[in-house]
Chain A
Amino acid sequence: MTPSLTTSAAGRTYDYNRVVGGREQMNGIVSMAFGAKDEIYITQKALFFFDVSKLKIGPEPNDEEMIISFREKDPDFFEGTWPACLTVGPDHDIYVTDELRHVIYVFDQDGVLKRKFGSLGTGAGEFDRPSGIISTNNDSIYVCDTMNHRIQHVTTMGKSINEFGSQGSAEGQFQSPWGLDIDSDGNVFIADHKNHRIQKFDAEGNFIFTFGTYGSGMGELDHPTDVAVDPDGDIYVSDWANNRVQVFDSVGEYLLQIKGSAIELSKWQKRYVESNPDVVKARRRVESLEPEMKFALPTGVNYDKSRDRLFVVDSQRWRIQIFNKLKDYAEAQFNI
């Protein structure tokens, strides 16, 4: 079935907006976070390099540019790092988890390293392959301490505030948690990656509810990587191994799925393709370009509250697919 450009259910509509990305700009993209004024930050695990980059993605098509590659500022620093996920704090600093060195790096907006905290271990403020990270509005961050199978709540200076969870599959336990988000009430949502579910906790780490079981059916999950919550309370899950994003309501009831809608090439992809005649010919001789529309192992979901847009990190296709969330969408007349 051809992927749809518009997906609707239960009064929500997700309308394909555009695609941003390319081999050079987003090779190996793993995660993203919103910065100021149409800026985003991304982490990349490319074949022979790791990076954190800042890009501008304006509201209009083709209004996008690469601003800074942190690695280009200091290539040596990024040797032997595994940047995983990132978040932007109220101070506009960028907090990046490093799964190889087991630390959190704090960069300024220009990619200058300001400080780092954490080290390998199981104690408070120590990490074992930290990944998902999200800042709160009060100078603290939550971190998925992945291989310690717990969530740590620390200050922006790395001082422990609280921790919750342990290894297991019972409510409140985790198996390699990866991505996370907080809602407007401060509740924390965790992509419990190897338990194939999402768990919700209050700000203190008290368990509230869970949803999702292993599988590929509606509402089932296969290695979820990230979760995002919008101001309406709708919950987005990057359902990694099912190559889709699923949308749930505020109590975890399944609403709809999106499988990718990139009907066109991004600005940068188009530039690459058009300058390589063999690639143009190869795209013409295939039976269908439809596979190019679909997600391939999406690793991130981020909700742009300022413009009601859903950003999906389409990791294996080196791009971000963007969807508008519409609340008053009306289908075109059938006999138009």
Chain B
Amino acid sequence: MTITETNLNLMAHLMRRAGFGADRDELEHRVANGYEATVDELLHPEQQIPVDYYEFLRYFPNWWKPGTMGGRGHAGWVWRMINTRAPLQEKLCLFYHQIFATGVSKVDHYDEIEDMIDMFRENGLGHYKTILMEVAKNPAMIYWLDNHENHATSINENWGRELLELFTMGIGNYTETDVQECSRAFTGWTLTHKLPRFHMGRWDWEFEYRPDDHDNGEKTFLGQTGNFNGEEIIDIILAQPATATFIARHLFSFFVEDEPQVPSWSVTPPNNPEAVDAIANVLFESDYHIGTTLKFILNADFFKESLFAKVKNPTEVVIGTLRLVGNTERPSPETMDWAIDITNMGQDLLNPPSVEGWHTGIEWINSGTLMKRTNFTAELMGDLTRPGVKNIMGRLKSVEASPDAIVTACLNLMGPLDVEDDIKKELIEHAETFGPFDWDNDSDNENAAAVASEIIQLIVALREYQFA
């Protein structure tokens, strides 16, 4: 396919949403392959060489079953996101982690939450029922929502309530009685005891179903009556159109356009009800097959028209920048710093603030996190030794020497980004302090690269750059 401004913009949009962005070489390669072919490739992570996680463990053995790790327990996942050739697979892990938010602050075992992320990686493009069943049996989730305290003789409603409120239907589509009956159906879904961790390291929790602690009585749930166990409850939930709409809104908010925060969804209609309905319809018809639904979304007009309608989350900022600048692939002490950078921008992965996950969209931004974003990105983009930055400089050398042309090219290579005229004017004025860009000899080359680097650092500080 011919590389035009339109299809380059669209491919950049797709890779920001279904991945962590892409450099210009990759974008041009993907445009040549075609948009639909790229979507298909993203939807088939099994065709890519997987990340060899042992490469990370070889240098950071303590991350095999990480403890509290000074808040760095997610560093292995960060390294995986930097190196993956299947970026949509990792984006889906983020998507599910936002919905099934489970935190080390209570669980106290990063490895158990990592196991949940691994499960998302394995099953993320499959049926949502598989995800729900696996989450219901996941030790981290069981402990996080107290289902090990949910007994036949004394129910604990925490898991049952969140299953309905946050993971499937949303407030307003069920009653308090449904919550109790749902919880009764999940009695006996518990954990084995772990060996203690202190004398020779950590051990796994295992899911255990205890029939003797399960409430075998009749339950009436969402209008149906029977001796339901957990799986039957999930089947009844998935048969509700409200569930499809709720999951559709999550998908829309994560992949298409920022929605209001989840707790307000029961009283605030979607930004684009037609699109959410269309997604819900595909979900319902496909038996909640996420791969099928994502293929629909990524090829839909409402998706293609949603350029820069989302604020980048901190993980997207950090991983996107690292993948762009390059020389970040090896496990190193910097990997730990980058993990903390994501936290400092407001997204402490594997440790969300509550079961509701993070507040997203514009709430990612405040005066502190904006500074963190800008400083992080500007520092890396200003490192002229990074291969990705060198590539950008190489491309700038082929454009006209005028400051105007250089600024236009920088905006193009960093997005492509559209900015208002007065902002572009300011950037050009800064470039003009240097005069025409001359790349002819080493000294000129160095000076031109330094100024171009300054322009790029100014661009990443722009409001426009915070959007995906």
Contacts and interface: CB of A to CB of B under 8 A. Distances in A.
Contact of B61 (A80, A176, A194, A316): A316
A259 interface: no
B67 interface: yes
Given A282-B194, A297-B64, 14 more contacts: A21-B200, A22-B199, A48-B70, A100-B332, A147-B330, A194-B52, A265-B199, A272-B198, A273-B199, A279-B196, A279-B198, A289-B195, A297-B57, A316-B64
Nearest to B196: A282
Contacts of B193: 282, 285-287
Contacts of B1: none
A292 B198 contact: no
A315 B61 contact: yes
B385 to A, nearest CB: 14
Contacts of B61: 28, 30, 45, 297, 299, 315-316
Contacts of B198: 23, 272, 276, 279
A144 interface: no
Given A223-B54, A285-B193, A292 B200 contact: yes
Interface string B10-38: 00000000000000000000000000000
Nearest to A19: B200
Contacts of B330: 147
B201 to A, nearest CB: 5
Nearest to B332: A100
Contacts of B368: none
B62 A28 contact: yes
A305 interface: no
Contact of B192 (A28, A287, A319): A287
Best-buried of B55, B199, B333 by chain A (most CB within 10 Å): B199
* Interface hub of B59, B64, B203 (most chain A Cβ within 10 A): B59
B152 to A, nearest CB: 21
Contacts of A193: 58
Interface core residue of B58, B200, B330 (most chain A CB under 10 Å) = B200
B65 interface: yes
A233 interface: no
Interface string B36-77: 000000000000000010110111111011010110000000
Given A286-B195, A316-B61, A269 B200 contact: yes
A258 to B, nearest CB: 18
B194 to A, nearest CB: 7
A99 to B, nearest CB: 7
Contacts of B60: 45
Contacts of B199: 22-23, 265, 269, 272-273, 279
A167 B273 CA distance: 55
B62 A318 contact: no
B196 A283 contact: yes
Contacts of B333: 80, 100
Interface residues of A, number: 44
Contacts of B203: 291
A95 interface: no
Contact of A292 (B52, B194, B195): B195
A279 B195 CA distance: 9
A46 interface: yes
A265 to B, nearest CB: 7
Contact of A317 (B52, B70, B201): B201
25 contacts: A21-B200, A23-B199, A28-B62, A30-B61, A47-B70, A82-B59, A100-B332, A176-B55, A176-B58, A193-B58, A194-B52, A269-B199, A273-B199, A276-B198, A279-B198, A286-B192, A286-B193, A286-B195, A287-B193, A291-B195, A296-B201, A297-B61, A316-B64, A317-B200, A318-B200
Interface of B: 52, 54-55, 57-62, 64-65, 67, 69-70, 192-196, 198-201, 203, 330, 332-333
Interface string A230-268: 000000000011000000000000000000000001000
Contacts of B195: 282-283, 286, 289, 291-292
Contact of B65 (A23, A80, A291, A316): A316
Nearest to B65: A316
Contacts of B67: 47
A293 to B, nearest CB: 11
A318 B57 CA distance: 15
Contacts of A273: 199
A125 B70 CA distance: 37
Contacts of B57: 297
The 6 closest A-B pairs by CB, nearest first: A282-B196, A317-B200, A279-B196, A269-B199, A47-B62, A272-B199
A193 B57 CA distance: 13
Contacts of A286: 192-195
A287 B204 CA distance: 13
Interface in A268-284: 269, 272-273, 276, 278-279, 282-283
A291 B192 CA distance: 14
Contact of A241 (B54, B70, B194, B200): B54
A193 B54 CA distance: 10
Residue of B57, B60, B330 with highest tally of chain A CB at under 10 A: B57
A279 to B, nearest CB: 5
Contacts of A291: 195, 203
A28 B199 CA distance: 12
Contacts of B58: 176, 178, 193, 223
A47 B69 contact: yes
A286 B65 CA distance: 19
Contacts of B196: 278-279, 282-283
Given A282-B193, A286-B193, A297-B57, A319 B200 contact: yes
A273 B195 CA distance: 12
B59 A99 contact: yes
Nearest to A29: B61
A289 to B, nearest CB: 7
Contacts of A80: 333
A101 B257 CA distance: 46
B30 to A, nearest CB: 28
A131 to B, nearest CB: 9
Interface in A1-35: 21-23, 28, 30
A317 B67 CA distance: 14
Contacts of B64: 296-297, 316
Nearest to A270: B199
A80 B193 CA distance: 38
A23 B333 CA distance: 23
A318 B70 contact: no
Contacts of A315: 61
A265 B198 CA distance: 13
A287 B64 CA distance: 23
A15 B55 CA distance: 33
Contacts of A100: 332-333
B194 A318 contact: no
